[in-house]
Amino acid sequence: MQRQSGWRSKSKEDIKEIYGFAEGYKSFLDEAKTEREAVRSITRTLEEEGFGMDFSGDRVFAVNRGKEVMAFVRGSVDISEGLNIVVAHIDAPRLDLKQNPLYEDIDLALLRTHYYGGIKKYQWVAVPLAIHGVVVKSDGESVDICIGEKDDDPVFLIDDLLPHLSRKTQDEKKLGDAIDGEKLVVLFGSLPLTGAEKEPVKQYVLKMLGDAYGMTEDDLISAELEVVPAFKARDVGMDRSMVGGYGQDDRVSAYTLLKGLCGVKDPRRHCLAIFTDKEEIGSEGSTSIRSAFLHVFLDDVLSGMGIKADEALMRKVLFRSKALSADVNGAVDPTYQEVHEKQNACYLGRGPCITKFTGHMGKIGASDANAEYVAEITRLFDGSGIMWQTGELGKIDEGGGGTVAKHLAVYGMEIIDCGAPILVMHSPYELSSKLDIFETYRAFQAFFKA
Ligand code: MN
Ligand code: MN
């Protein structure tokens, strides 16, 4: 276990390799700001790495409704011995446009949003924002939209009150109440449409949407448009040792998992990588880890191997599986150290954090990994020369959180949380350590190769 900065034992050559790995990671963060974009980026890499959708192959993948991916590498042992599974999530906190979002007021066109996941609302005002997503028209045609990422694109903004006038409305309130969810309204335009009598500014942006995407206002009802930060991932620090970027919870796990899996050739045990959706809202819904997609995918895997996939076999495969729930943990915050119990907390730069249990208020809602399995995983990491640490999420009763671990633990498989520590979690600009990103990748690969 790493009890001091891992950087202290890295050579110049190591640091070069670690920094090189982070370059690919930053590109991934920039092109995968939504779950659908993450799916496109992940499947493109999988195809480049010889994965296909024909289940008779050794390296296969499938996509669930454009928002979730499962990828499998065939091993040599009998599949009834179970799988090695690593699961990460590719959704991130954001603001979704409401289904009837657009209105005009005081000569401005505005969009109403409904936030997704646990955000601190005050962090989303007064920062440049982009709109990403899909509009599915009534005839079924779907149009991808991405505005605010190219250098010459416009960006969007949620306004905030000037300090001169915010005393009663904001400053005297509790931080969590200062910004009302209904006030997370996106500024969308201000030019009036010539000749329009009613709502000319709204008519103007609607005309632009019609010209650019062939869509009408009613098409927004069947759209999934996500408002995300418009900034790109960047190196942080004089020494460039950290990465700042949106959506690192949990795309740091998704990227390291993808790279880890792609490097696995002819493993002993069968390997399954899951890139799931809807973790940030409690793993509910048809693209979450709790949907039947896992069974549907494994049905196809088994038939691809010429095995009849009956329910008893499926139960056995899942029961005997070993899994890592690949999700981030909150690193000790340099300026708010008091929320952590520092003897049982994770730190930036000491490698992925193994978290035996999550949950809140006395482990409620936790999947508490078995001690035997904790020992197995730490032995594996030690044997593979991987830097790792262990920690809980914050002090007892300070708050808490959960991951998808408990949803896979119900099958009876061994599962433990393991992922990079990050700072400023769930904010528009999260922070990770390049060393942790690299060691997490090595950890997932070692797990698959075990
Ligand atoms: Mn997460
Ligand atoms: Mn999260």
Q: What is the rounded distance in angstroms from the CA atom of residue 428 to the CA atom of residue 93?
A: 9
User: How confident is residue 320, by pLDDT bands cut at 50, 70 and 90?
Assistant: very high
Looking at all shown ligands, the one closest to residue 118's CA atom is: 2
**Structure token pair of residue 236:** 């942080």
Residue 359 CA to ligand 2 centre (angstroms):
13
The mean pLDDT of the chain is: 97
Instruction: Report yes or no: 422 and 248 within 8 Å, Cβ to Cβ.
Output: yes
Residues of the chain with CATH 3.40.630.10: 6-92+246-449
What tens digit of pLDDT does each residue of 415-440 get?
Answer: 999 999 999 999 999 999 999 999 99
Q: How remote is the CA of residue 206 from the centroid of ligand 1, in Å? A: 36
> Contact at 8 Å (CB) between 204 and 109?
yes
* Digit-coded pLDDT (tens) for 236-256: 999 999 999 999 999 999 999
Which protein residues have a CB closer than 5 Å to ligand 1 (ion)?
249-250, 327
Q: Is residue 272 classed as helix, strand or coil in its secondary structure?
A: strand
**Coil vs helix vs strand at 149:** coil
Specify which residues 223 forms β-bridges with. Answer: 135
The CA 149 to ligand 1 mean position distance, Å, reads 24
CATH of 6-92+246-449, one of 3.40.50.300, 3.40.630.10, 3.40.960.10, 3.50.50.60: 3.40.630.10
Measured from the alpha carbon of residue 419, the closest ligand is: 1
Q: Would you state the CATH architecture of domain 94-229?
A: Roll (2.30)
CA 30/CA 48 separation, integer angstroms: 19
In the predicted model, is pLDDT for residue 359 greater than 90? no
Distance, CA of 244 to CA of 221 (rounded, Å): 34
pLDDT digits (tens, 9 = 90+) for 267-316: 999 999 999 999 999 999 999 999 999 999 999 999 999 999 899 999 99
Cα 411 to middle of ligand 1, angstroms: 21
With cut-offs at 50, 70 and 90, classify the pLDDT of residue 137. very high
Give residue 398's pLDDT band: very low, low, confident or very high (50, 70, 90): confident
**Residue ranges matching CATH 2.30.250.10 in the chain:** 94-229
CB 113 within 8 A of CB 121: no
CA of 435 to the centre of ligand 1 (A): 19
Question: Separation of 289 CA from ligand 1 center, angstroms?
Answer: 13
Report residues near ion ligand 2: CB below 5 Å: 249
Ligand with an atom nearest the CA of residue 289? 1
Which of 27-41, 129-143, 370-384, 386-400 shows the lowest per-residue confidence on average (mean pLDDT)? 386-400
